[in-house]
Amino acid sequence: MIISMEENVSTRVIESVVDRVKSMGFSYQLNVGTERVVIAVLGGDTHKTDVQVFQVLPGVAEVQRIQKQYKLSSIGFKKEKTIINVGKGIKIGGSEKVLIAGPCSIESEDQIMQCARIAKKVGVQMLRGGAFKPRTSPYSFQGLGKKGLEMLNKAGQEYDLAVTTEVVAIEDIEMVAQYVDVLQIGARNMQNYELLRAVSKINKPVILKRGLSAGIEDEWLPAADYILNGGKAEVILCERGIKTFEKSTRYTLDVSSIAVVKENSHLPIIVDPSHAAGHFKYVPYLSRAAISAGADGLIMEIHPAPWRALSDGAQSLTFSDFQRLISEIK
Ligand code: PEP
Ligand code: MN
């Protein structure tokens, strides 16, 4: 249930509505917008409560029942687009597109430093790199772990880039958060609800990748609500392609999801053309499509020598292809 207050009501009036919400055993979150305050009433049984209970209270303009599985990430809760401040002057969701690039996995200090150097040179704002890799096969390279995080952090500092990496285990979250500006939840963990609940307690933005076969409104946005529900972390959605019958590409980039998210959510959405394509030669096409469709940014895989990469080499751009793509996008 969403309670929209009248414009310019006093804090005391808002508090008395909040008190009523709490007295009925619900939790809540406030969205203090430029014109009005909106209160999301959260809890399992809101559907059994009559909207009149809140509608009659002083200062209440409108009470809407939300039939959807997501509330906090919905446009009903917050009409203004969310702009996430990552630090180092980087804002995701604003008028400027954010560009994120780096290797699939951090493999050595030299490799991540080279990636950071080219990223900085072409004007990318953030560096990515996996230290804990959720690999399909247990026999594939699993990442350098904490050592990788140290390298990533060092490269970010050296080249003044914000950094992001994936976290795969609850017990690693606090440690990983110390090394990066933004946490990443991978596609395979989008429905790992305990992991989502655990990152929701961390005061860091989270890139939430879309699950390999997750519906936008029935699974992905509710997963974002798990993170927003903790009241601390902010969410950046990331479309990375979904499974379809098409075999020419690794996944199918669902460009429509940008439109659906923009119409139904206030959250920023970026696109990962690399995992969607699975092959470097398709990455520029998908990048241009994403930007044209209104994505707030891109996250791309690059490697100094993709043919030697320990993971996702086929979809990683060489530095010269990367430079060309960035200038086209700009
Ligand atoms: C990655 O970013 O390297 C990755 C594993 O992505 P995804 O979770 O989208 O497969
Ligand atoms: Mn990868």
C-alpha distances in Å from residue 202, one per residue of 73, 131, 182, 233, 248: 18, 19, 10, 6, 39
* Ligand 1: residue whose CA is nearest its atom 6: 186
How do residues 33-66 score in pLDDT, each as one tens digit?
A: 888 999 999 986 788 889 999 999 999 999 998 8
User: Cβ(266)–Cβ(78) under 8 Å?
Assistant: yes
Residues of the chain with pLDDT under 70: 44
The model's pTM? 0.95
Task: Residue 273: name the closest of 329, 195, 193 by CA.
Answer: 329
How do residues 300-320 score in pLDDT, each as one tens digit?
A: 999 999 999 999 999 999 999
How do residues 220-232 score in pLDDT, each as one tens digit?
A: 999 999 999 998 8
* Ligand 1: residue whose CA is nearest its atom 1: 104
* Ligand 1: residue whose CA is nearest its atom 10: 187
C-alpha distances in Å from residue 37, one per residue of 1, 27, 59, 61, 256: 14, 16, 10, 10, 31
Nearest atom within ligand 1 for CA of residue 128: 2
Residue 67: the pLDDT is: 80
Nearest atom within ligand 1 for CA of residue 241: 9
Q: Which residues line ligand 1 (CB under 6 A)?
A: 104, 130, 134, 186-188, 209, 240, 272, 275
